[in-house]
Amino acid sequence: MIPPGWPLAAQGGPVIPDFGKGSDCVVENRLFCPDWVRDNWSGTLQPALVEHVKLTLIAVAVGFALSFAAALATHRFRLFEKPMVAFAAIVYTIPSLALFQLLVPVTGLTVATVEVALVGYTLLILYRNILEGLRSVPPDVLEAARGMGLTRRQTLLRIELPLAVPATMAGLRVAVVSTIALATVAALVIPQGLGYPIFLALHEAFKTEILVAAALAVGLALVADALLVVAERALTPWNRTRRAT
Amino acid sequence: MTASLTVFGDALEFVVDERRLILHKTWEHLLLSGAAIAIALVIALPIGLWLGHKHRGSFLAVNVANLGRALPSLAVIAVGFVFLGVGFWSVALALVVLAIPPILTNAYVAVDGVQAEAVEAARGMGMTGRQIVTRVELPLALPLIFAGIRTATVFVVATATIAAIAGGGGLGDIIVNQAGYGLEGVVGAAICVSVLALLADGAVGLLQRALTPPGLRIEARAYEADLTTAPVRELTVPNVDGHRS
């Protein structure tokens, strides 16, 4: 549970740290204590990392599903592009900390609050990129598809969607990386993710925990980005050969 | 649902009743954001413009953007807290770090992307290097440069909320202190921050319109021109050397 008074690190006068038992390094609150990391990896850091990955995956998966459906519908009917982009842009502009708090009266201090906000932030990037990808198909390619006798559905599945992969993946990379960053703030609402140890450590001004948790969050974002680059290469073999020549 | 509506009603009441507190915190918020953006502009704009003018350092410019996206704002503020302690400047510096990537990358891409013909023509007219920068490249690059400034501004105003956790002041002070201000105070401050972010977005947008030469005015929102959320087509344009950003 959330300890009383958190996460007001800097409020209410100086905090006198009490790190209890531990090595000299921990008691003196030096910059980095490897032994603390070793002792708390499986109890604190690893669970936070796993929770963080879960929060991110759920948010991006739901956001992707919504954006994909909306982009397909827009591509077919061209109806609600402007309102959709306007809505997503406004959500995108609202500060994360504020959005989490605005949702609390509606959904409470739950994972749902966090996920709704995180999903909201992915919409603008994913929707616009998927739509842009679908629209990036050159007209003569579509003409050729029609000339080959492909139906609308076949054109979508065999031509438009594969050609939309690069734009979609570019959007996915931005969405995943920014969701990982935003999910740290979620710890203000629920005690989950890498933000939670950061908040707790800020409260006690405990340096090692702040630095390690922050480094894990940045590292997670960079690893996820790299994985998506590899996935994109695998999904677009035609780009690879073109690059090689 | 009615319960949550009551909370929003109470929140608005809180904002009206405590308007002096809200105004004071808003002022702190603007001061912090303004200082951070000003410093970031002084650092990032010259570097971006110079690199773009020389058509050098695309690797640096693009990777700064990618790294900037991967930095969780909470982590950056927490790390600033570790090294610089509690207070205004510690948080301001963290915000500067977060504001630099969009400004630098957009300035680089904007100037780098100015048509070679225009620069050539200017040189043919006998313009010096400095004149080319100030009279040709800068005006042509302005829309995209401002898109970066706009992104950075919205981002900084949003992130300054988190600053409260490290003693930076601002509206976040109320948002993270539910024990002191109650849920209505938290939600009220969250509404204020959201409005502030939207206003900041609009204000920079107006400034951008006013400063853009009439011949270049295009009906594009910042998000459409900005690299950090732009569809892949724009992301790949600056990389002449072929590898995707």
The pLDDT tens digits of the residues spanning B100-120 come to 999 998 899 889 888 888 889
Q: Which amino acid is at B61?
A: A
Residues of A in contact with B154 (CB under 8 A): 93
Searching chain B, which residue's CA lies closest to the CA of residue A11?
A: B167
Residues of A in contact with B162 (CB under 8 A): 97, 185
Interchain contact, B74 vs A89, CB within 8 Å: no
Mean pLDDT, range B207-218, rounded to an integer: 74
Searching chain B, which residue's CA lies closest to the CA of residue A130?
A: B231
> Helix-strand-coil percent breakdown of chain B, rounded to 5?
80, 0, 20
* DSSP state for residue A3 in the 8-state scheme: P
Q: Where are the alpha helices (DSSP H) in B55-177?
A: 58-70, 73-84, 88-112, 116-124, 129-131, 138-159, 172-175
> Is the Cβ of B202 closer than 8 Å to some Cβ of chain A?
no
Please tell me the predicted confidence (pLDDT) of residue A205: 82
Domain layout of chain A by residue ranges: 46-239
> Is the Cβ of A110 closer than 8 Å to some Cβ of chain B?
no
Whether A231 shows a pLDDT value over 50: the answer reads: yes
Mean pLDDT, range B73-90, rounded to an integer: 86
List, as ranges, residues 152-191 from B with C-beta within 8 Å of A.
Answer: 154, 157-159, 161-162, 164-167, 172-173, 175-177, 179, 183, 186-187, 189-191
Q: What is the ipTM of this complex?
A: 0.77
Interchain contact, A184 vs B229, CB within 8 Å: no
Taking the CA of residue A201 and the nearest CA in chain B, the distance in Å comes to 9
- Structure-token pair, residue A23: 């090595």
> Is the Cβ of B39 closer than 8 Å to some Cβ of chain A?
no
Mean pLDDT, range B176-205, rounded to an integer: 89
Interchain contact, A202 vs B193, CB within 8 Å: no
Whether B129 shows a pLDDT value over 60: the answer reads: yes
Please, which residues have CB within 8 angstroms of residue B73's CB and are 6 or more apart in sequence?
A181, A184, A185, B94, B98, B155, B159, B162
Strongest mean pLDDT among A63-67, A175-179, B235-239:
A63-67
Q: DSSP for B39-50? A: HHHHHHHHHHHH
Which band of pLDDT confidence, cut at 50, 70 and 90, is reported for residue A240? low
Of B69, B81, B191, the CB nearest to A178: B69
Which band of pLDDT confidence, cut at 50, 70 and 90, is reported for residue A28? confident
> Closest by alpha carbon to B141, among B221, B207, B212?
B212
Please tell me the predicted confidence (pLDDT) of residue A168: 92
Please tell me the predicted confidence (pLDDT) of residue B35: 94
Which band of pLDDT confidence, cut at 50, 70 and 90, is reported for residue A131? very high
Taking CA atoms, B75 is separated from A142, A228, B106, B165, B223, in Å, by 47, 23, 24, 11, 25
Please tell me the predicted confidence (pLDDT) of residue B158: 87
Task: Name the least confident of A2-16, A55-69, A206-220, B30-44.
Answer: A2-16
- Chain B interface test: which of A81, A96, A97, A208 (most B C-beta within 10 Å): A97
Question: How far apart are the C-alpha atoms of B99 and A28, rounded to whole Å?
Answer: 34
Name the 3-class secondary structure at B228. Answer: coil
The pLDDT tens digits of the residues spanning A158-217 come to 999 999 998 999 899 989 998 999 999 888 888 999 999 998 888 888 888 889 999 999
Interchain contact, B165 vs A221, CB within 8 Å: no
Question: How far apart are the C-alpha atoms of A69 and A50, rounded to whole Å?
Answer: 29
Mean per-residue pLDDT of chain B: 82
Interchain contact, B198 vs A11, CB within 8 Å: no
- Structure-token pair, residue B15: 């904002």
Angle at the Cα of A92 (from A87 to A98), degrees rounded to 5?
110
Interchain contact, A124 vs B66, CB within 8 Å: no
Which band of pLDDT confidence, cut at 50, 70 and 90, is reported for residue B6? confident
Mean per-residue pLDDT of chain A: 85
Element spanning B71, H or E: none
Residue B14 near residue B181 (C-beta atoms within 8 A): yes
Which band of pLDDT confidence, cut at 50, 70 and 90, is reported for residue A10? very low
Residues of B in contact with A7 (CB under 8 A): 165, 176
CATH number given to B11-236? 1.10.3720.10
Of A8, A102, A177, the CB nearest to B190: A102
Taking CA atoms, A129 is separated from A99, A142, B132, B223, in Å, by 24, 20, 35, 12
Count of CB atoms within 10 A of residue B3's CB? 8
- Chain A interface test: which of B30, B82, B228 (most A C-beta within 10 Å): B82
Of B179, B193, B235, the CB nearest to A170: B235
Please tell me the predicted confidence (pLDDT) of residue B87: 81
Please tell me the predicted confidence (pLDDT) of residue B39: 96
Residues of B in contact with A198 (CB under 8 A): 74-75, 78
Whether B230 shows a pLDDT value over 60: the answer reads: no
Domain layout of chain B by residue ranges: 11-236
Whether B224 shows a pLDDT value over 90: the answer reads: no
List, as ranges, residues 112-151 from A with C-beta within 8 Å of B.
Answer: 124-125, 128-129, 132-133, 136
Whether B55 shows a pLDDT value over 90: the answer reads: no
Please tell me the predicted confidence (pLDDT) of residue A93: 85
Task: Name the least confident of B131-140, B186-195, B215-224.
Answer: B215-224
Judged on CB neighbours under 10 Å (0-12, 13-18, 19+), A122 is: buried
Whether A2 shows a pLDDT value over 50: the answer reads: no
Question: How far apart are the C-alpha atoms of A214 and A171, rounded to whole Å?
Answer: 24
Mean pLDDT, range B139-145, rounded to an integer: 87
Whether A126 shows a pLDDT value over 90: the answer reads: yes
The pLDDT tens digits of the residues spanning B34-47 come to 999 999 999 999 99
> Is the Cβ of A91 closer than 8 Å to some Cβ of chain B?
no
Of B166, B183, B231, the CB nearest to A128: B231
Q: What's the CATH architecture for A46-239?
A: Orthogonal Bundle (1.10)
Peptide bond into A47 cis (omega under 30): no
Mean pLDDT, range B85-98, rounded to an integer: 88
> Is the Cβ of A178 closer than 8 Å to some Cβ of chain B?
yes
Please tell me the predicted confidence (pLDDT) of residue B166: 80
Residues of B in contact with A177 (CB under 8 A): 69-70
Interchain contact, B79 vs A195, CB within 8 Å: no
Residue tagged 């918020």 (tokens): B29
Element spanning A194, H or E: none
Which band of pLDDT confidence, cut at 50, 70 and 90, is reported for residue B216? low
Residues of B in contact with A181 (CB under 8 A): 69-75
Task: Name the least confident of A177-186, B208-217, B230-239.
Answer: B230-239
The pLDDT tens digits of the residues spanning A81-122 come to 888 888 888 888 888 888 988 898 888 888 999 999 999 999
Which band of pLDDT confidence, cut at 50, 70 and 90, is reported for residue B196? very high
